Structure 1
Amino acid sequence: MLLAMLGIILSLAFLITMAYRGHSVVVIAPIAALIAVVFSWDHLLASYTQVFMPAAGGFIISFFPLFLAGAIFGRLMSVSGYAEDLARWVPRIFGPKRAILITAIVTALLTYGGVSAWVIAFTIVPIAKPLFQHANISLKLMPAAIALGIFTFATAALPGSPQIHNAIPTPFFNTTTFAAPILGVIGAVITFGLGMMWLNWRERSLLRKGEGYVDISTSAIDGAGTTIPVSSATDSYSDTGLDESAGGVASGGSNGLRNAPTVTLEKRGTAAGSPDIVRRGLIGLLPILVVVGVNATFVYLISPHLNFDYLSEKRFGSTDLSSVLGTWSVTLGLVAAIALIFICRPRSVVHYFSALSEGARNAVLPVFTTASEVGYGAVIASLAVFAVLQDQLFDLSDNPAVLGVVATAVISALTGSSSGGLSITMQTFGQQLAQMAQDQGISLDFLHRVVAMASVSLDSLPHNGAIVTLLLVCGLTHRQAYKDIGVVTVVVPFIGVIAVLALGLAVPALT
């Protein structure tokens, strides 16, 4: 038993180390799983073909529509220029001096609309830098402001978020992405509020030390998709909005990123304070509103009045609406938003069709990466030693919400992946947690919300791939910026999920 336990530890260490070094989890996860199998003296080939692959395939079957629609929508938001239009409009509302607040809100809006973190990072960085320069705020805080909007409350706390983290629990708990809306909003307010308090305090603290804006990034990106010297990347800025030179995103460069998404921008108004910015910003916001609106409409207004009894037929998997509603509603919202983008700018249809193919290609690697992590978790769960670990975990508490939070947070931390950690937890413990909640009269909506929020807490440790990518896009290092990233993406979300957990258990009516 001790040898088998050592095998799990070594396999996790291998997975974390290799992922941190940038190796593909699609390859690394099955190798890591086989390490654990060898130490347990279990069957190698059977563990791969009969355990790993069915689990990975099952995840792809359940969630690929979300990955595909989300990747296409994100690509279209980028190619159409809507994402940048939105990012340029928000400063007019809050004022150019509030660079941290503006950056966090823009990234949160794009995240809540279903745009991928990859697209958001490349869209916001060239716009956030002149904002920080104009407000004389240290560039060290920019990655944390971006991370607060992308990786925390907008991903898993806000009800209706189309991000995969909010959809993964739906088939296990028969819930929707709007599960526990009151608690979700409370958790979002706590997380966003604490994150902003920290960043604002850090801004004042750095200014007291005489540390304002200095471009310490290794590179900057211009609208042509090429890397230019930092000294020539300073964009002009007015009190009413960004100048034209602030726009554009990258496709590569000295930061080492390859095949980054490019943005094809339509001609912008030449005046930074032009009313055209407001119009374009509102239009850029519209697809996001459609995603959330169609999602909610299908869940609350349409599906209750339609007959879905046919889902019980064998050819449809002998299922029911509650098992697929979460996936269906989000996918419909994303497809509706995609259609809207086509309708709003019909003259760009030729470019949009190219974006469909690019978005489809962009969906493949993320879904296979997460599926490989799910397969890894399934193999670990199949080992005899895992039953011992499971018993030890369940000895911590008999409350399924507490168990779900602890298991999700720990596994997400170990794997360095929120979606991967949540998927492993659901595949391994989902049915047991759901049964325990039903036996104890605990709301499954509440369980959904707290495990989703737990997935975006301890996951953002230094080896997290998304954090590494964000720092590369910003041109900064862990040493320069991770302290603040760690506070707003690890400490603050963990406080948020604990607060929601305690509140939900104390006041069941909120669940």
Structure 2
Amino acid sequence: MAFLIVLAALCFLMFVAYRGYSVILFAPVAALGAVLLTDPGMVAPMFTGLFMDKMVGFVKSYFPVFLLGAVFGKVIELSGFSKAIVSSVIQMLGSGRAMLSIVLVCALLTYGGVSLFVVVFAVYPFAAEMFRQSDIPKRLIPGTIALGAFSFTMDSLPGTPQIQNLIPTTFFKTNIYAAPWLGSIGALFIFFAGMAYLEWRRRSALAAGEGYGTGHSNEPEPFDHSEKLANPWVAILPLVLVGATNRLFTDLIPKVYGKSVEFIPAVIGKATPVTQDVTKVAAIWAVEGALLVGILSVIVFAYKGVIAKFAEGTKSAIAGALLASMNTASEYGFGAIIAALPGFLVVANALQSIPNPLINEAITVTSLAGITGSASGGMGIALAAMSDFFIQAANTAGIPLEVLHRVASMASGGMDTLPHNGAVITLLAVTGLTHRVAYRDIFAITLLKTSAVFVVIAVYYLTGLV
């Protein structure tokens, strides 16, 4: 019975998310409903002492990354740099390689630190123009953008500043460059397999005589080729600076601060010293510093264009960052309560019975990411509940924690893109398409992404590469 209560709570949250209701509202409802059915007297204590504690803790750790990432993406958009980057890639590759162009542009922007939600809005008008000119079915645009923005640059490539690559650092005390060889191999597998799939779909449509189509909704205005764009080398420089300073700060912060820092707040009376464990936050500090450098560089290079629209533009970016972080934080609090219920022991014991620690971790993370419809939320739930078990099992088997980091990160971006995923819903809404028309290709990319985790695990055991 206890297990059925946990399962019902998970299914309820997945259902309301699929129907478009706010996770911020219904995550605590689902969690506390499960507590009510298990132990009614613990509803209030678990809400205050566990749900809110974990939710606020997530916001404390990661909201600055959400905020700075959203602002960086917005100033890249306001400056016109995103248009210049997209246009340059298209010119280099040619209009005949529409799919490859869009995948590479999405990858460049997300690896450079731009939020994947921002990438969807920035790239879609150009994708529609290129697909229209090349007479490729519009229904293939969501799968193409998903491959570029939601897959290998989100959590596979070492150094990506996306939140899915940051969360494991706080549990395993690693940095975002963990397991660079495995991450790169996984990224190449996803890229080539994904492109092969998309090209097969394009050729199949061509053979069937299907083109871009007519009567679509949310069609963007045709691209104005007379518009003067920024120099592409200047446009890409902020992205390069984010990557370079991120690497610099990752190395520099531990050297400057050591393993921990202690300070006494300047308050009247006797104050208790505050100790900050730098090993847990160094990777987060590095990304925050790099994004700040990126934002400032865009303002310097395109001062007039950015400042004129900065006040209004950043309002929407901040609102988006608040919504994204609170959605994930609510799921994080939900996971903490579910993990504390007796019914979760059935799940945990079943998962722990998988003898291989890496396969165990991959299945656990990707399953919970799929259930919650969130890569970061599912991974947060899994690692909050079972990271100590993963670490102990890895130490026993002699597996470096860097490998645990990369497997968890990649697994989180596997089955998370089920129909109720927020990014999927946003992508389909922006492109004016429905699940019935376009989700098939997103799901295919999801399967490829999930299989890549097990490819990486196999490569590790066969070669010992990290």
Interval of TM-score (by shorter of Structure 1 and Structure 2): over 0.9
Q: Does 1:173 align with 2:172?
A: yes
Deviations, residues 471-511 of structure 1 (Å, cap 9, x unaligned): 111111112111111111x1110121110011112322x11
Q: Give unmatched runs, 5+ long, in structure 2.
A: 265-271
Say whether the 8 Å CA contact 1:157–1:188 is kept in structure 2: yes
> Aligned partners of 2:23, 2:310: CA distance in 1, in Å?
31
Deviations, residues 60-112 of structure 1 (Å, cap 9, x unaligned): 11111111111111111112111122111111111111011111111111111
> Aligned partners of 2:167, 2:257: CA distance in 1, in Å?
25
Q: Does 1:280 align with 2:238?
A: no
Aligned to 1:6: 4
Q: CA deviation at 1:354?
A: 4.2
> Aligned partners of 2:376, 2:104: CA distance in 1, in Å?
22
Aligned to 1:57: 56
Aligned to 2:253: 303
> Aligned partners of 2:180, 2:99: CA distance in 1, in Å?
27
Q: Does 1:401 align with 2:399?
A: no
Q: Give unmatched runs, 5+ long, in structure 1.
A: 223-234, 237-241, 245-267, 270-276
Root-mean-square deviation (Å)? 1.8
Q: CA deviation at 1:304?
A: 5.1
Say whether the 8 Å CA contact 1:72–1:358 is kept in structure 2: no
Aligned to 2:201: 202
Q: CA deviation at 1:309?
A: 5.1
Q: How does 1:39-78 map to 2 (within 5 A)?
A: 39-42=37-40, 43-78=42-77
Deviations, residues 101-138 of structure 1 (Å, cap 9, x unaligned): 11111111111112122221111111111101221211
Aligned to 2:267: none
> Aligned partners of 1:48, 1:70: CA distance in 2, in Å?
30
Say whether the 8 Å CA contact 1:308–1:320 is kept in structure 2: no
Taking a change above 3 Å as real, the CA distance of residues 410 and 317 of structure 1, as seen in their structure-2 partners, is farther
Identify the match of residue 380 of structure 2 among 413, 423, 428.
Answer: 423
Aligned to 2:342: 384
> Aligned partners of 2:65, 2:387: CA distance in 1, in Å?
20
> Aligned partners of 2:362, 2:312: CA distance in 1, in Å?
41
> Aligned partners of 2:22, 2:123: CA distance in 1, in Å?
26
Aligned to 1:374: 332
Q: Does 1:463 align with 2:425?
A: no
Say whether the 8 Å CA contact 1:69–1:331 is kept in structure 2: yes
> Aligned partners of 1:310, 1:502: CA distance in 2, in Å?
36
Residue type at the aligned position of 2:462? A
Say whether the 8 Å CA contact 1:216–1:476 is kept in structure 2: no
Aligned to 1:36: 34
Say whether the 8 Å CA contact 2:378–2:412 is kept in structure 1: yes
Say whether the 8 Å CA contact 1:172–1:434 is kept in structure 2: no
Q: Could you tell me the TM-score, scaled by structure 2's length?
A: 0.94
Q: CA deviation at 1:360?
A: 2.6
Say whether the 8 Å CA contact 1:342–1:352 is kept in structure 2: no
Residue type at the aligned position of 1:31? V
Aligned to 2:447: 491
> Aligned partners of 2:388, 2:69: CA distance in 1, in Å?
27
> Aligned partners of 2:273, 2:424: CA distance in 1, in Å?
39
Deviations, residues 276-322 of structure 1 (Å, cap 9, x unaligned): x5x6222221111111111011123x235424355256878534332
Aligned to 2:436: 479
SS class of match (1:447) = helix
SS class of match (1:311) = strand
| Further displaced range: 18-27 or 311-320 | 311-320
Aligned to 2:459: 503
SS class of match (2:231) = helix
Say whether the 8 Å CA contact 2:5–2:343 is kept in structure 1: no
Deviations, residues 171-212 of structure 1 (Å, cap 9, x unaligned): 100011111111111110000110000000111111111112
Q: How does 1:71-90 map to 2 (within 5 A)?
A: 71-90=70-89
Q: CA deviation at 1:358?
A: 3.8
Identify the match of residue 446 of structure 1 among 403, 422, 426.
Answer: 403
> Aligned partners of 1:318, 1:37: CA distance in 2, in Å?
34
| Further displaced range: 121-130 or 332-341 | 121-130
Say whether the 8 Å CA contact 2:365–2:382 is kept in structure 1: yes
SS class of match (1:318) = strand
SS class of match (1:219) = coil
> Aligned partners of 1:340, 1:69: CA distance in 2, in Å?
13
